[in-house]
Structure formats: C-alpha cells, structure tokens
Amino acid sequence: MALKLDYMVRETGTNLFRNLSLTIASILTVAVSLSLVGGSVLLRYSVDNATQQWQGGIEFIVFMQPEATGEQTDAVERQLEDSTQIERYEYFDQDRTFEEFKDLFQNTPQIVESVTPEILPPSFRVVPVDKSAETIESLRSVFVTQPGVREVVAAFDSIRTIRNLSNLIGVGLFVVAGFLLLAATLLILNSIRMAMFARRREIEVMKLVGASNWFIRIPFMLEGVFQGLIGSGFAIGVVFGVQRVFDNIAANQDFSLFSGLVVDNQQVMTTSVFVMITGVLIGALGSAFAVSRFLDV
Amino acid sequence: MIKLENVTKTYKGDVPALRNADVEIAKGEFVFLVGASGSGKSTFLRLVNREERPEQGRIFVAGKDILELSSWKVPYLRRNIGSVFQDFKLLTGKTVYENVAFALEVIGRPKHVVKTQVPAILELVGLGGKMDSFPHELSGGEQQRVSVARAFVNRPLILLADEPTGNLDPATSVGIMRLLDRINRTGTTVLMATHDRSIVDTMRRRVIELDRGAIVRDQHRGVYE
C-alpha cells in the first residue's frame, strides 16, 4: 500500500507538470470564478450585518443631533408618544448607541477607539402602524423639521435600495460565476483528457497487465481535485482581501447605514470553507467526467 | 484452460471476424493461430482477455465464464494472462528494468517482490546485462524479449502472443520462439497468432487455421498449410 501511495503522488505530480499551461489555465479560471462566488457570499453577509439595526419592524430612525438639548429630545419623544400612527418606538441614548457601534465595528478597534459616546447621535427607532411608503414619507417630513433632529432615515427606502442593489449585484456575480465555474469544469476536464492522451501508452499497458480500474483512475482524479483546491486557495485569498476592503470602506464613512458593511471573521471562515468545498467539487466533477468518458476502464 | 463455445464476433456492419467458433485448449498446450490477415486471429486473442465481447457464445478461461465478469473484475482476469505484441508496446521513457517492474507495480506487488522478480526474469530472457538500457538502445529481438519478460514476470497461466515475430528477422525469431517454448514448458498455456510458416512447420505444435472468421482446421502437431 505504501508503494501505491507514493505511486499516486508521483503520477499526479508528473501529470500536473506535463501540462503546465493548461493546468495554470484551469487553476486561474477556478480562482476567478470562486472569487466571484466568495465575493457575492460576503456581500450577502455584509448586507445582513448592515441592516441588523433595522430588524423587528423598525421602519425609520430619527437621529438627534449629538448636542441636542433635553427639551428638544423630550419634545420629539412626546410627539412620537402622541401620534396615533406610531405603534411603538425605542430610544437609543448615546451609551446604547456606542454599544451598538462597538458591536458593528468589532473588527476595527481603531475606529471604535476614535469614537466616544458624546459624538454619537442618540436616536429613536420607530415602528409605525402603517408601513406604506406614503405614511412613512409623511411621518419623516414631520420629524425632520423638528428642532434638534439631525436626520430621519427611512428604512423603507434605504433598506430596499441596499437590498435590491445587493440582490442585483449578487445575482449578477452568481450568473457570471456560474458560467466561469462551467468553464473551469470544462478546462479541468480537458486538462485531464490531455494528461490521459499523453499517457495513453502507459494506460494501455496498465490495462493489459491488469492494473485495477481505480488504480488507473485515481491519479487523474487527484489531478483534477488538486487543480480545484489550488484555485480555491487563491479565491480564499481574495475573500480575505474583500473583508479588508469592507473594513476600509467602513472606516472612511460617518456613522450611517454603510458603517455596518463589515463581515466578521466567523463569516469569512464560513465563506472560505464554502469556496474550498466548491473548488474541490468542481475538480472532482471535471475529472470524474473525463475519466468516465475517455478512460474506458 | 480456454474454451470457446459457438462464439461469433462482428465488427460494425462488417463480415464476422469470428464465426461460430468452438475451441477447447488444455492447460499447458502450445497453439498456433494461422490464417490470412483479417481472418480473425487477433480477434480470437482479444476475446480471450476480454478486450472484446462477442455477440454470441460463451468464453471460459480457467473454468470461469469471462463474459459474466463484472468490469471491475476484468483486471484480475488479465493478471493471469500475459500479452506480447508485434510492436512490443514498451514504454520509451522507461528503462528495461522499469518497463518490467511497471507491470508488477501497477498491480500493487510489494517492492521486495519487484526487486527480486524483475532481475530474475530479465536473466531468464537473456537481458541481465541490459537492465538500465532504454528500448531505443536495443535491437528488435531484444525489445521483444523485454516485452516477453513483462508478460511473464507475473507468472500468468496463459500467454497470448499476437505475431510476436512479425517485425523480426528469421534468426532473431528463432530466439524468441525458444523463449516462448521455454515458458510453455513451465506449464503456461501459449496461444500465438502468426504468419510465419517456417516457425509453425519447425515447431510442429497444434495449429488452428482461421479463414474469414471460421475455423477451417484444427490439427495436432500441424503445419502451416
């Protein structure tokens, strides 16, 4: 068995280097397509993260000026209290906002350090009775003119916009990635086919002397899996790169909706594992097809 | 050892390559298959190690119906059957030693077996001194000896030879035939397709003659025609 193992490794290695250009082409295609897959998964995660403060039916947020006076805040609160169009609301004072902020920016401590509770805007998270766009727009226009109010952000618009945009980008990326993955599979298939062609005399002899079918197949299968694996390795590098980009975007933004456009390490790990498994599957699929179609054992 | 029952094999739309063949070959026999090109000699050999399947009939090797074998068991059948060809089918990138060792390695024989068996069989075929040569450095006769060594290194029950002397001059051919005869004397059944009249006439072994796929003669201690 020891002999077989080093035989397999040797054969796989030889095959990979014999067809270096085609091997590189396959690996790069896998890398690019899986980068797109990984990117769109990360985007999905980051959008979910970015919108987490909008969960529980909150449709708009009234941000107060950080320096708004107590009376101004009380006035806004009273108005929310009295309005029949408001189902409920929640007040986030500066300390609570700071807690949330720390949570959102847990990956970039330098941002958290640069912020103190005093500079953050307190806010009212509001759940209206009627969630239609018109109602929210009319409520928005009422509150935005109140003294001490910095801005009113309606979830309806911004969440929809960001969700739609990310869906659009996500779907686009997935479609492109899908075609590229198909191309990658076909390239792997062809590089395995080339490897089998280069070794057709050896394969013929192996069949004649009675090498078992799997003994002949496995080095070719491993070659495909290896190409998928290396390609996914590059893609995982890209996934980590995207995380850095998101962090940078977040670092250069004021406290706004985009501040949530970060992904935590757990999500990056999950994405990486997903990318790796996809890479291995692509390699296995391409080579399995080549082996079953062209090896005839 | 080998038994064909009413075997017919036809290639796409052509005349049959083998027609209603009934043959029984006992263990240890040496059999010549003769006949014109296209008479079905190679097909006969290819049926025995299941490179081809007939449309009709049954084929037994060592008592087993080989047409019943599932495809993953075919390699194990072939481990009992050595094959030698007119064009040697040696791997040009490997030395004499590696070519023979390859046949053992790919069926998973342990290293120490390879290390003892390969030099022994190369000694037997008279190439003990050329183990590190590459095939292109050898004469045709020597290359065919390597191929015989590869076919026999695993001590198969049957040796199939498809015109093994077809590319060799008469003197060299005699050497190869001596080798095959010697292998036959160890108890290995040898089945050899040939065009070589003088070899058949000199050896006087069983001769099966094929004509357009039909067995027209089966003669003990026979001659070419």
Cβ atoms of A148 and A131 closer than 8 Å: no
How far does the CA of residue B58 sit from the closest CA of chain A (Å)? 21
Q: What is the pLDDT of residue A242?
A: 83
Asked which of A77-86, A119-128, A162-171, A240-249 is least confident by mean pLDDT, the reply is A162-171
In the predicted structure, residue A24 carries a pLDDT above the cut 50: yes
- Judging contacts by C-beta atoms under 8 Å, the chain A residues touching residue B107 are 209-212, 215
Q: Which two tokens stand for residue A263?
A: 């992904």
Q: What is the pLDDT of residue B75?
A: 94
Helix (H) or strand (E) holding A191: helix A155-198
B70 DSSP 8-state letter: -
Q: What is the pLDDT of residue A249?
A: 73
pLDDT-above-70 percentage for chain B: 100
Q: What is the pLDDT of residue A152?
A: 83
Residues whose CB falls within 8 Å of the CB of residue A115, separated by 6 or more in sequence, listed in order = A98, A101
Cβ atoms of B185 and B196 closer than 8 Å: no
Q: What is the pLDDT of residue A94?
A: 84
Mean pLDDT of chain B: 93
Asked which of A242-246, B24-28, B39-43, B196-200 is least confident by mean pLDDT, the reply is A242-246
Asked which of A17-21, A130-134, A198-202, A235-239 is least confident by mean pLDDT, the reply is A130-134
- In B, what residues contact A, Cβ < 8 A? 49, 71-72, 75-83, 89, 91-92, 102-103, 105-108, 110-111, 150-151, 154
In the predicted structure, residue A158 carries a pLDDT above the cut 90: no
Q: Is the pTM of this model over 0.90?
A: no
The confidence band for B28, taking pLDDT boundaries of 50, 70 and 90, is very high
How far does the CA of residue A209 sit from the closest CA of chain B (Å)? 6
CB contact under 8 A, B108 and A215: yes
- Judging contacts by C-beta atoms under 8 Å, the chain A residues touching residue B49 are 208
- Judging contacts by C-beta atoms under 8 Å, the chain B residues touching residue A216 are 106
- Judging contacts by C-beta atoms under 8 Å, the chain A residues touching residue B73 are none
Give the C-alpha separation, A80 to A60, whole Å.
12
Range A110-130 burial, b when 16+ CB lie within 10 A, else e: ebeeeeeeeebbbbbbbbbee
The confidence band for A1, taking pLDDT boundaries of 50, 70 and 90, is very low
Q: What is the pLDDT of residue B16?
A: 80
Q: What is the pLDDT of residue A2?
A: 44
CB contact under 8 A, B110 and A3: yes
In the Cβ-directed half-sphere of A282, how many Cα atoms lie within 13 Å?
A: 33
pLDDT tens-digit series, residues A231-270 = 999 999 998 888 888 777 766 665 455 555 667 788 889 9
Q: Which of A4-13, A194-203, A263-272, B93-102 has the highest mean pLDDT?
A: B93-102
Strands (E) across chain A are located at 60-64, 86-92, 123-128, 149-154
Name the residue among B193, B18, B88 with its Cα closest to residue A208: B88
- Judging contacts by C-beta atoms under 8 Å, the chain A residues touching residue B77 are 210
Q: Which of A111-115, A138-142, B43-47 has the highest mean pLDDT?
A: B43-47
A282, amino acid identity: I
Mean pLDDT of chain A: 82
**Residue from B73, B92, B106 to probe the interface with A (highest A Cβ count within 10 Å):** B106
Q: Which two tokens stand for residue A169?
A: 């980008």
In the predicted structure, residue A53 carries a pLDDT above the cut 70: no
Say whether B93 sits in a helix, a strand or coil.
coil
pLDDT tens-digit series, residues B51-93 = 999 999 999 999 999 999 998 899 999 999 999 999 999 999 9
Nearest to B103 among A7, A209, A212 (CB): A209
Sheet with B30-34: list strands edge to edge. B81-85, B158-162, B189-193, B30-34, B206-211, B214-219
Say whether B153 sits in a helix, a strand or coil.
coil
**Residue from A204, A209, A214, A218 to probe the interface with B (highest B Cβ count within 10 Å):** A209
The confidence band for B224, taking pLDDT boundaries of 50, 70 and 90, is confident
- Judging contacts by C-beta atoms under 8 Å, the chain A residues touching residue B150 are 205, 209
pLDDT-above-90 percentage for chain B: 89
Give the C-alpha separation, A61 to B165, whole Å.
94
Q: What is the pLDDT of residue A259?
A: 53
Interchain contact A201–B (C-beta under 8 A): yes
Q: Which residue has the higher pLDDT, B172 or A247?
A: B172
In the predicted structure, residue B130 carries a pLDDT above the cut 60: yes
